[in-house]
Copies of this chain bind each other. A is one copy, B any other.
Amino acid sequence: LVSDGERQQTTEPDRPGDLLNLIRTGRARTRGELGQVTGLARSTVAQRIDALIDAGLVVEVGGAPSTGGRPPSLLGFNADAGLILAADLGATHSRIAVCNLLAESLAETTAEIDINSGPDVVLAWLEETFDGLLAEIRRSPGEVRGIGIGVPGPVDYAHGVAVNPPIMAGWHMHPIKDRFASRYGAPVLVDNDVNIMALGEYWVMEPKVDDFVFVKVGTGIGSGLILGGVLHRGANGAAGDIGHVRASSDDVVCRCGNNGCLEALAGGAAIAGRLSDSGLEASGSRDVVRLVERGNDLATRSVRDAGRLIGQVLASTVNLLNPSMIMIGGDLARAEQQLLAGIREVVYQRSTTLSTTDLSIIVSSLGDRSGVIGAAAMAIDHIMTPRAVDEALAGAG
């Protein structure tokens, strides 16, 4: 009953769905490697791989270098075995894509649409857009295996509904899933915009870090937490809400009803408001970035100061979660030099020494595509759970 001190707590994979995930993530590339990793008998591996090949999920992609005898065939995940529909719906700006099963975009478009037009208008438009993109690449709605949608407000993930979203008029408790689930006969996953951005960045990250905080600094401020390799949503799907942490004893009133909230002081809307009060032309985050890029002093100082305030809240986050990486995204991240400088200054000063030992603070690698990739990743992770794969195989057999 004894075991060594460093053993992993995870269950070892030994079912067809598990084998598929080993191949999909590149952790095993031949039947022999699958046997080594799982400890399964050669005959068992062969049988399970045959089932995955029959289902079209795994393909033989050529020979691997042999150590003598017939070269073993390389196994590959067939990313074309189905399609994923992905949408990153923003307040005024959306990005929609049709992806393969590796979250690689096959067709993609952006559009200006006001989320406050309400769910009927926006979702009808989204349906048309999905169909248009499918037609563009001559693929059929029947090939859709999963749908991921991000929205700019708090989401009850289990039920796929927005809950009292402050900027999404008419969306409270609207059943977003139903329309798409019945139309495409595939599972629909819905989450807030920041969580899908975190998922998107984690999806492409190489090597992956298990504890990672994604911070979106746009009109508002929010974060998505990847902890132990899994997105942490919390009891009500409200986790990551750093925008309403008290960042100052100032009496600035926030749209949430409290005062001194980080977002009300350091969000893009707040900065633009202050610049506008000083006579500059700024109505949102993008205008702020434009002014910084043109070298405007006041805008530059404002962004730097915002970075310091964000850094103050992130310093507490670092003490609490001890992540390996903080990644900054959102519109204001385009003013990266100033914003990052302010954040780093305060985090490294205010967090404990141990918790910043291996901490890196960087800007988003995907920019405004992180959300749509994350929406696809969310759907793929869902349909690729070992159990879902096994049930699909059983259903097909």
Interface residues of A (CB under 8 A from B): 1-9, 11-15, 18, 55, 57, 81-82, 145-146, 154, 158, 160, 163-164, 177, 181, 185-189, 209-211, 223, 225, 227-228, 230, 232-242, 244-246, 249, 256, 258, 312-313, 315-317, 319-324, 349-350, 352-355, 357-359, 381-383, 385-389, 391-392
Contact = CB atoms under 8 A, between A and B. Distances in A.
5 contacts: A3-B387, A227-B228, A228-B230, A235-B355, A245-B315
Given A354-B238, A359-B235, A3 B187 contact: yes
Question: What number of copies of this chain does the assembly contain?
Answer: 2
A81 B1 CA distance: 9
B246 A322 contact: no
A319 B5 contact: no
A145 B2 CA distance: 6
Given A164-B353, A245-B315, A258-B349, 12 more contacts: A1-B392, A2-B146, A2-B392, A3-B387, A9-B381, A11-B386, A209-B235, A225-B321, A239-B320, A241-B354, A249-B249, A256-B352
Contacts of A357: 235-236
A36 to B, nearest CB: 15
Contact of A235 (B238, B323, B383): B323
Most chain B Cβ neighbours within 10 Å, of A7, A145, A209, A238: A238
A258 B322 contact: no
B385 A7 contact: yes
A378 to B, nearest CB: 11
